[in-house]
A and B are shown apart, each in its own frame.
Chain A
Amino acid sequence: MTCEISQALLHGYLDGELDPLRAEEFERHLESCSPCIAKLEEQESLRASLRGAKLYERAPAGLAKKIQREIASTRSESDYQWTWVPIFRWIAASAAIVLVMVITYFGVGRIFSGNSGVEQAALTEVIDAHIRSLQPGHLTDVTSTDQHTVKPWFDGKLNYVPPVRDFAENGFPLIGGRLDVLNGRSVAVLVYGRRKHFINVFVWPESSSESVIAPTGTRNGYQWNYSRAHGMELCAISDVSATDLHDLSELLQE
């Protein structure tokens, strides 16, 4: 092992992250190389002083209480899926009058469509559209790896210009584009490849309101990554790894 390799592996060794074979090679190199020993010792002492300095800061005493208070009045996503009956029972039993007032003033729908209900719906639409696109003949309306073919294709079909770029160099070749419908309006979809997988990127103009979609997440085995860039909202979805999706999202934001 050369010093160059040894120095590249030094941190992995320090952190106990080398496989046994590599670790052994590294140790063998140390036996005959005092500069590398010095480097390792330097790092060990840096670590010791970092750990010795007690830099870890615990949460303030009152924080847990605050969190518990806030979630007591928050519903989790799955509350919406599974607790219809108890909600009705509770409402019926305890607050018939309130219900009447709410129906009168706000309409029944509002009760159940808090923020995460909206998010649920938005994500379901994106995931459904992604699955539909994978059926034969649905993936692209315009098939081209050339951004200068795909971009003009959207001309006149939407009232905005989606940013179309090919990232073949970074392992995300552009495959094409299509129109899809989200939340009752037409949006641009860019299709990228990642090895044998497809990634759909939904693009629509940024709205002033805060997003209803979480930045990242997984549902039914599909990952999504939501971001904003260049005045657009972007939601990438695929069955590739979260890391791959994140990499693409970074490229889209450049």
Chain B
Amino acid sequence: MLEPADRQRFERMVMPHQDAAFNLARWLLRSRADAEDVTQEAMVRAFRFIGSFHGVDARAWLLQIVRNACYTWLEKNRRVDLTTEFDETIHLQPTQSPEAAAVASNERERLMKALETLPARSREVLVLRELEGCSYKEIATITSIPIGTVMSTLARARDGLKRVLNASTARDASGKEVHRDV
């Protein structure tokens, strides 16, 4: 009773990008458990619409669906994530306890925290570019931002990340106090 061609196409073209889907969802939602649910939902959705996919870049197509699913999820469950723009007074505050700061001295942990501090729109372009290795064209497709602004969006995101990292370095160096001269 099933349509084997569609199922094969899905298996062959979409399933291999399962990790990419999960990774994007994990960084957008900042939670592995939520990411697992949303990835599953998005993959099933991709399956239902596989007939309308005629392009060649199945990964970009899938990630577009995943991204939509993530924003819909955030809209419903964590609206504040979408409305918070980068704001030094919020994001560079010393919110960590000294214990947490000690843990964060681990480089990976430190970068992870910094990335999670950025607004979703910055986080997603960094994840797509640096972790997923997407081209500007792919980033434009996935995030629906015009290709001409991908570069400036990335520039802003990287500067934001650098500022957060510098602030956390300053914090580690000085104990509690935050240096703003970054």
Contacts and interface: CB of A to CB of B under 8 A. Distances in A.
B18 A59 contact: yes
Q: Helix, strand, loop or mixed for chain B's interface?
A: helix
Given A67-B44, A215-B68, A216-B64, A57 B22 contact: yes
Given A15-B136, A67-B40, A90-B1, A57 B47 contact: no
A56 B131 contact: yes
B155 interface: yes
A11 B158 contact: yes
B39 A87 contact: no
B6 interface: yes
Interface residues of A, number: 52
B32 to A, nearest CB: 7
A55 B131 contact: yes
A63 B40 contact: yes
Nearest to A214: B49
B45 interface: yes
A11 B155 contact: yes
Interface in A210-254: 214-219, 242-243, 246-247
Interface residues of B, number: 57
B108 A46 contact: no
A58 B22 contact: yes
Interface of B: 1-3, 6-7, 10, 15, 18-19, 21-23, 26-27, 32, 36, 39-40, 43-45, 47-52, 54, 64, 68, 72, 107-108, 111-112, 115, 126, 129-132, 135-136, 140-141, 144-147, 151-152, 154-155, 158, 161-162, 165
Interface of A: 8-12, 15, 17, 42-43, 46-47, 49-60, 63-64, 66-67, 70-71, 74-79, 81-83, 86-87, 90, 116, 214-219, 242-243, 246-247
15 contacts: A11-B154, A50-B126, A51-B130, A55-B115, A56-B131, A58-B23, A59-B36, A60-B32, A70-B40, A76-B48, A77-B51, A83-B1, A87-B1, A217-B52, A243-B140
